[in-house]
Amino acid sequence: MAEGKAGVRQLLHSALGCNIAWGIIDGVMYIMNCLTERSGKARLLEAVQHAPNPAAGLELVRAKVESEFEALSKPEDREALCQAIFKHATHARPIKTRVTKEDFYGALACFWLVFISCLPAAAPFLIFDQPRLALRVSNFLLIAMLFLVGHNWRSRPTPIACSLAWPWWPSAWPSSAWPCCSGDRSPEPCRSSPSFSR
């Protein structure tokens, strides 16, 4: 590593390059995740609609719901969700599994979120002339950011069960089963996990 301003400039370019690379990687992974989830729902929808009888189709839905929510809900609540999903799936249109405009928007948002969130770590390379000092300050800022984000995340827990259930069928999930999903804390629909199309 070079010394003085040349070394600082070298570290700055490296940091920005890493930010761009990770932003692109996370954006691509977001699109792949959207396609994977959408394809899974499309396969389930097709299997339910081509089941030999309603009981077989309902059993396919039960297998999916049980594996996702067995530890998070009561049996009667899961059965109500299965019945609602099956009723909707039997008349739903096929799900298109191609990449959508919303997927690209989400990937772009992921890129900018990753890139911008890492900019504070690059700031010391614009302030200090000594590369080692700038690197140590950058490391300190990254550790401080991780601590603050973790502390904030711990104090504001996300209703995981609501987030998992919502994309499948919002109106089918009993609000009494999930206190976090009732009142003013109801989560918005998850755009990254498209539900069955009407």
Q: What is the pLDDT of residues 147-197, one digit of tens each?
A: 888 888 876 655 444 444 444 444 434 444 444 444 444 444 444 444 444
Q: What is the pLDDT of residues 114-151, one digit of tens each?
A: 888 888 888 888 888 888 888 888 889 889 888 888 88
Q: Is position 13 within any domain?
A: yes
Q: Is position 136 within any domain?
A: yes
- The domain of 106 spans 4-51+96-170
The helix/strand/coil state of 188 is coil
Q: Is position 175 within any domain?
A: no
Give the residue from 158, 168, 159 showing the smallest Cα distance to 68: 168
Tell me how far CA of residue 115 lies from CA of 46, 81, 93, 122, 173, in angstroms.
39, 39, 38, 11, 37
Domain count within the chain: 1
Q: Is position 18 within any domain?
A: yes
The helix/strand/coil state of 161 is helix
Give the residue from 8, 5, 4 showing the smallest Cα distance to 16: 8
This prediction has a pTM of 0.63
| Rounded (5°) CA angle 33-35-40 | 95
Q: Is position 86 within any domain?
A: no
- pLDDT band, residue 33 (cuts 50/70/90): very high
Q: Is position 177 within any domain?
A: no
Q: Is position 36 within any domain?
A: yes
Rounded to the nearest 10°, the torsion over CA 50, 55, 56, 61 is 90
